Amino acid sequence: MLERRREVREGLIRYLARSLRSNFKEVWAYNLGKMSMLIIGFMVLVSIYSLVSLPSDFPQMWKASDRPPWTLNPKQGYPVWVKYLGIPVAETVSYDNVRLQEARIVTPRGPGDFPPRDLDRIVPEYGRSLGIKTLTPIGYIEVYRVSYTSTSSVFPQDVVVILRAKASEGVNLTSISVVPMVFVTRPDGLVLYTFEGKYTLERLVSGVEVKMRCDLFATSYIRYYGLDATVDSVCTLLNRPVFGEPLDVKASDFKTVTGEYQITLALWYTGADPRAVERLISNGDVSVSTSIRVIGNSYGLLGTDTKGRDLFQGLLFGFPVALIIGFSVAFAIVAIGLVLGVISGYFGGRVDEVIQRLVDVIVNIPLLPLLILVGVAIQTGGWVGWPALTIIMAVLVAFSWGGTTIIVRSITLSIKAEPYVEAAKALGASTWRIVFRHIIPQIIPYATAVLVFSVPGAIIAEASLSVLGIDHGLPTWGRILADAQAERGVAYKMWWWVLPPGLMLGLFSFAFVALGFTLETIVEPRLRRR
């Protein structure tokens, strides 16, 4: 008995493999089929690429929209290539692991040497800059310098310095502190003191990102330009005073200062003997890596959203998600429909009646309102992320299998009436064998068409739910569009936000519907031939 089952299964697999290969060729024969297979092939490739290139916790990263790496990106950033379209942008430039330019122990030469002259030699910006310095660095100082060119009338958004410390065992991380001091030297010669802070090495081990601070230079800035404005009004958009000059006394508007900027980072190590620090660093027992990044207003292949998230990465992630969700749901629907349809059609009688009534009811239930209710309910209940999405998919499946069941049942009925089914019965074939060897192989082509048709449904439903406000937080095309809709005032002006995800949704849907139509055309004449 088992052997026979295995034989049946083997035969079925062999048959399926054979038919798959020949079906491929048949579909390819049609133009529509070619197109759809190319699109789907492309999507599969992109999905694979996305799965390997994106970090595995990308969904969580996306949800944490107020954390790095998004905080290091421009907000509402343009795609980088718009500059070729003639749109003025400020580029985002990153210097990773900036090379140490100079390091020295600065000590006062004598009692009146304050601030020490040596300091001026290594960090001349200290003396020349506008801004209140609360600390005077005396001790071991490292200096890093990078340059940035501003070419357009667009203001870069921020300057970020990223520090990360590594230390060997035994080093006392709490005793040594690092004071980063950031200076921006402008093309017009003005130097601004934009950051000052203090961090223990321990704190630096997990990484620190520091941005510009306005409060340090605001008052001096106002005095320098002779402005009739408050610190608050100047500091509301601090990238403007930094990268531009005021157009009027009220400082209501600024004009960019174009040219080469220099950003200087001075790292002052304090809390321990400078020589000890120097030794630790030269031994490699302590090392602080610095990256300096000027956040412009353009980033990435598809720009960024209002929180700085890379829309290209978001879009990329949407590919495998769409395929996986689409296929899982479609597969489940067709599997249930197939099983119930065959049972209903082949066995008839009361089972058939029951299943048919059930299908009747299910087919009449409006899916969207129910989905909305489920979505809202689970959101209130506190479920988000993958579990929420799975529940929604389950509800989708639970109410969509009706149509498939009806189709499968009618095909089963027509096959059942065929003489060869009776012939098989006559020679003693078991019900199992008849169903698996004679009936199901005939249904598979149609079932495949239904499967393909159902793939886009799931992701479109998910997108619709997201736009309505049911937030599962995971980056899908629908979710990206939903975020746009939520901030429609600004987002609708950002075509790179609204256009790509929708295009992908449409392409996805189109490809599968086209493939489904092709399959149907192939299957139809076969049915008619019978």
Binding mask 15-44 for another protein (x = CB under 8 A): x-----------------------------
* Window of 136-144, 246-254, 402-410, 487-495 that interacts with another protein by CB under 8 A: 487-495
Extract the tokens encoding 516. Answer: 């489904």
- Is residue 162 a contact point for another protein (CB under 8 A)? no
Which residues is 104 bridged to in the sheet?
141
Binding mask 353-372 for another protein (x = CB under 8 A): ----x--xx--xxxxxxx-x
Stretch 387-446 residues interacting with another protein (CB under 8 A):
418-420, 422-430, 433, 437-438, 441-442
Contact 277, 177 (CB under 8 A): no
- Quote the CA–CA distance of 77 and 86 in Å, as a whole number: 16
- Quote the CA–CA distance of 210 and 263 in Å, as a whole number: 13
**369 phi and psi angles, rounded to 5 deg:** -60, -40
Which CB sits closer to another protein, 351 or 426? 426
Which CB sits closer to another protein, 235 or 367? 367
Which CB sits closer to another protein, 56 or 364? 364
> How many residues in the shown chain lie near another protein by CB under 8 A?
67
- Is residue 232 a contact point for another protein (CB under 8 A)? no
Distance set, CA 75 to CA 90, 92, 279, 305 (Å): 12, 11, 41, 6
- Is residue 88 a contact point for another protein (CB under 8 A)? no
- Is residue 506 a contact point for another protein (CB under 8 A)? yes
Amino acid at 7: E
Full 3-state SS string of 52-119 = HHCCCCHHHHHHCCCCCCHHHCCCCCECHHHHHHCCCCCCCEEECCCCCCEEEEECCCCCCCCCCHHH
- Is residue 485 a contact point for another protein (CB under 8 A)? yes
Q: Give the CA count within 13 Å in the CB-facing half-sphere of 405.
A: 27
Extract the tokens encoding 237. Answer: 């958009």
Residue 233 beta carbon to another protein: minimum distance, rounded to whole angstroms: 28
Residue 509 beta carbon to another protein: minimum distance, rounded to whole angstroms: 4
Print burial letters for 412-441: b (CB count within 10 Å at least 16), e (below 16): beebbeeeebeebeeeebeeebbbbbbbbe
Which CB sits closer to another protein, 199 or 436? 436
* Window of 96-104, 192-200, 406-414, 459-467 that interacts with another protein by CB under 8 A: 459-467
Contact 163, 205 (CB under 8 A): no
Residue 406 beta carbon to another protein: minimum distance, rounded to whole angstroms: 12
Residue 38 beta carbon to another protein: minimum distance, rounded to whole angstroms: 16
The contact set with another protein (CB under 8 A) reads 3-4, 7, 11, 15, 357, 360-361, 364-370, 372-374, 376-378, 380-381, 418-420, 422-430, 433, 437-438, 441-442, 456, 460, 463-464, 467-470, 481, 484-485, 488-489, 492-493, 495, 498-499, 502, 505-507, 509-510, 513-514, 530
